Amino acid sequence: MQLLELSAVDLVTAIRQGDITAVQVAERFLDRIEKLNGPINAFLNVDREGALSRAADIDARRKAGKPLGPLAGLPIAVKDALCTADQPTTCASKMLAGFRPPYDADVVSRLRQADAVIVGKTNMDEFAMGGSNENSAFGPVKNPWDFTRAPGGSSGGSAACVAADMAPVAIGSDTGGSIRQPAGLCGITGLKPTYGRVSRRGLVAFASSLDQIGPMTRSAADAALVMETIAGHDRGDATSLADAVPRYTSMLEQPLTGLRIGRVAEHFGPGLDSEVARGVEEAFAAFKAAGATIHDVELPHAKYGITTYYLVAPCEASSNLARYDGAHYGHRAEPGRGHRAETGRGHQAASSGEFESPLVEMYCRSRAEGFGPEVKRRIMLGTYALSSGYYDAYYAKALRVRRLIRQDYLDAFQSVDLIGGPVSPTAAFPLGEKTSDPLAMYLVDMYTVGTNLAGIGGISFPCGFTKGGLPIGFQLQGPALSEPLLLRATDRYQQLTDWHRRRPKLPA
């Protein structure tokens, strides 16, 4: 039995039936991590001892005939933006280096209750701000298909570890495409659920009205299995939806006959790579052959998506990250000599290069040392847009445009069930190619930010490869709580194609 080739569904079944032990499964994936994490850098922390202990307990309970959870023995990697009481949670930032939360995120608690085996925490763009995973304070993640290329971000470590068979499942978070874009660039399946479908409690906040947690897997069937555990109402999250969680796995086999998929002509304009366009058009053709119909739809305000997102998200980030000041937890700068300069009005003011007090000096130096360049850029952008005299011109206007973008989707879903198209303008790009041009980096999310701004669901999956052997991603977007349909449509496509079964050539 080739463990690395088994799906998450097959692994859970084999462990439950006693065909293989949870310890054997954990050891195989942990050994794989030990071999490949050096060159790929997908994990920031690996809990080998804890994972093997958990797996041994599952095996003992199975032998004793005791009940097991629905994910019993399944190794899962967790993005390092989710709190874990038994492992550090750093958000790939010097600001939180070594920080160990006092509690588990709701998603982590649900995984543990389902008897999943959490093997470690994955690398990411610092505080989830980035599209290439090059903003990590602990080094970039390499794309398993080509180590010279980016895996996408911000959940790049989660995508890379699944693509490299270091874990069959990983958990990511998606604020503007951070699950779907790296899934597309790494050739795996990534689901961004409807806002509120999965609790955000314990997810270190980037932009609270946009963040959402979801699974990153090999297939839609595996994602459906995980969603049955992590979705559901959480009284500790005021934005959590109370709707009952369906049996996603039992809804996959329905045919696609009658399914209406929208195609947005604007998504195929300037900026879209020709090889990506070819793969996406072939995916549309495959859906049509499976019984779906393709219809032209319009999203008139989609062209304002990037601008809107990069006002709303930094404004929320500016507020959320204000708590990191070195006083309560996280990085604290070494004490220095503060300077108290008196003004003519009796107030204290800092002279050039000095600080008005040791406390102000500690705050300023802690934030300067703890945050990386991209995080600082977004904090400053958000603070500026929220400042007196600019709030109405920038943030308030962005919120109005966000409402128009949401209405575009609502209108489109009157005539189609789902909207399909590219997940990213290009396949995986070279590391370093966009780091000196923030706008070019932001544009990699041009097809994904609308999903978050509208609060709806989206899924990406491989639909082909470039001539250079890089995965091409396809995205489906659906109305609120359309996860059953998104998963079913993706599963039917994956039963007719084998793109999701392709593996990068890596050491065994």
Q: Point out the residues that are catalytic.
A: 79, 154, 178
According to DSSP H, which parts of 290-372 are helical? 305-320, 358-370
Instruction: Tell me how far CA of residue 123 lies from CA of 91, 120, 130, 383, in angstroms.
Output: 8, 10, 12, 27
- Residue 122, both tokens: 């994955």
Q: What are phi and psi of 174, to 5 degrees?
A: -130, 110
Q: How far apart are CA 156 and CA 130, in angstroms?
A: 10
According to DSSP, residue 470 is labeled -
DSSP H/E element including 185: helix 180-186
Sequence-distant (≥ 6) Cβ neighbours of residue 293 within 8 angstroms: 258, 259, 260, 261
Question: Is the Cα torsion angle 293, 295, 299, 303 positive or negative in sign?
Answer: positive
- Residue 448, both tokens: 């994904």
Among 117, 55, 57, smallest CA distance to 87 is for: 117
Q: How far apart are CA 135 and CA 142, in angstroms?
A: 13
| Parallel, antiparallel or unpaired: strands 260-264 and 418-422 | parallel
Angle between helices 397-412 and 305-320 (to 10 degrees): 130
322 contacts 440 by C-beta, under 8 angstroms: no
Q: How far apart are CA 374 and CA 154, in angstroms?
A: 12
Q: How far apart are CA 264 and CA 284, in angstroms?
A: 12
Rg of the chain, C-alpha, whole Å = 23
Question: Is the Cα torsion angle 163, 156, 147, 32 positive or negative in sign?
Answer: negative
Sequence-distant (≥ 6) Cβ neighbours of residue 228 within 8 angstroms: 70, 245, 247, 248, 249
Question: CA angle at residue 282 from 214 to 279, to 5 degrees?
Answer: 65
Neighbours of 440 (CB within 10 A): 13
Question: CA angle at residue 435 from 332 to 429, to 5 degrees?
Answer: 130
